[in-house]
Structure 1
Amino acid sequence: MFTKKTKMNKSLNILLIEDDAIEVMKFNRVLSSLNLKHRITEASNGEEAIAVLKVKEIIPDIIILDLNMPKISGIEFLGILKSDASLKYIPAIILTTSNNHKDVMECYRLGIAGYVLKPLKYKDYVDRIKSTVDYWSCNELISQ
C-alpha cells in the first residue's frame, strides 16, 4: 500500500511588472481568491522594476511581466535583467496579450522561463495564473 506524501509548496516573492492597474488588481484578486499566500511586489514599468531590484531588499523568486509597457518595454527590461550577473538567474515569465511570433522568439532568446498569453475569459486567466504560480512554487529555485 502506498501513502501519498504531500509537500507544501513554498510561498514565493513575486515581482509583478504591469502598467495596467486593472491587470494588477486582477492578478492580485486571483491569488487572493485561491488563498495563495505569495508576496507580491508591484512595479508599473521596467524602470521602476530595475529600481526595486537594485535596492535588493527583496529579491524575487520569479518575475512576471507584461511586454507592452511605457519607458522600458518588457523586452528591453529582459535584456537589462539577463545582463546582470546577480539577477540573470531569476526566472522571468511573460504575461501578455501579444502572441506575435517575433516577440515570443526574442523573449526566449533573452532567456525567459515562460510565455503566458492573457486569455479573454476570466476563468481561463485564473487557471493560467494558478498553474504558473503552482509550478514555480514547487520548483527548485536558485537562491541569491
Structure 2
Amino acid sequence: MISIPTQQILLIEDNADYRWELACCLETSLSNCQIVTLSENEQALAWLSYAPIQPDLILWSVDMMLRDNFQQIVAIRNNSVCKYVPIVGLADYCNEEWILRCYRMGVKAYVVKPHSKGECLALERIIESFQPITTRPTYV
C-alpha cells in the first residue's frame, strides 16, 4: 500500500550536512511527511513561486550568511500563493533581537537548531502543532 504524504515541509538551510541530518531525522520520525530541502533563500522563493503544491510549513534558517534573511520573509509574505504558510525560524543560538524581529515579521516560532534526538523531538512537537486539518468534524 502506498502512503501519500499529508504534510509537506520546506527546509531552507545553507549547511548541507545539517540540512541532510535534520531532514533525515524529521522524515524518519514524522509520519506521512515529505521534506523538501533547499540551500538558498533565492532557490526557495523560486520554488515557492512555481511549485505545484505549496508546503504546509517552512523551516527557515535565520542565520544563513548569504543575504539579509529577514528580507526573504518579506518576499514570502508578499507572495500571494504562500502568504499564509507558517514559518518556523531555526537558529544556531538564542538571539533576542532576532526573535523579536522574527515575530514582528510573522514567523510563528523561533527554535534553536536541534543537535540531539531530544531536541529534534521538541522540534517535531512544534511541527505537529502546525499540521493541517485533514478531516473535518461531522455534526449530527
TM, length-normalised to structure 1: 0.79
**C-alpha distance in 2, partners of 1:74/1:136?**
22
Match of 1:126 in 2: 120
Deviation at 1:123, TM superposition (A): 2.3
Aligned pair count? 130
Report if the CA contact (8 A) 2:49-2:81 is conserved.
no
Q: Structure 2: where are the runs of 5+ without partners?
A: 135-140
TM, length-normalised to structure 2: 0.81
Which ranges of 4 or more aligned residues in structure 1 deviate by more than 6 Å? none
SS of 1:136's equivalent? coil
Q: Structure 2 counterpart of 1:75, which letter? A: F
Deviation at 1:130, TM superposition (A): 1.7
Q: Structure 1: where are the runs of 5+ without partners?
A: 1-9
Matched, 1:48 2:43: yes
**C-alpha distance in 2, partners of 1:87/1:39?**
17
Deviation at 1:48, TM superposition (A): 0.6
Q: Structure 2 counterpart of 1:110, which letter? A: M
Report if the CA contact (8 A) 2:114-2:123 is conserved.
no
User: Over residues 74-124 of structure 1, what are the superposed CA-to-partner deviations in whole Å (9 max), with x where a residue is unaligned?
Assistant: 32211111122332201001111131111111111110111111245x123
Taking the TM superposition and a 5 Å limit, the aligned residue runs for 1:18-97 are 18-34=13-29, 36-97=31-92
Deviation at 1:125, TM superposition (A): 2.2
TM-align CA RMSD: 2.0
Deviation at 1:25, TM superposition (A): 1.7
Identical aligned residues as a percent: 25
Q: Structure 2 counterpart of 1:104, which letter? A: I
Change (3 A) 1:39 1:104: same
Deviation at 1:63, TM superposition (A): 0.4
SS of 1:93's equivalent? strand
Match of 1:16 in 2: 11
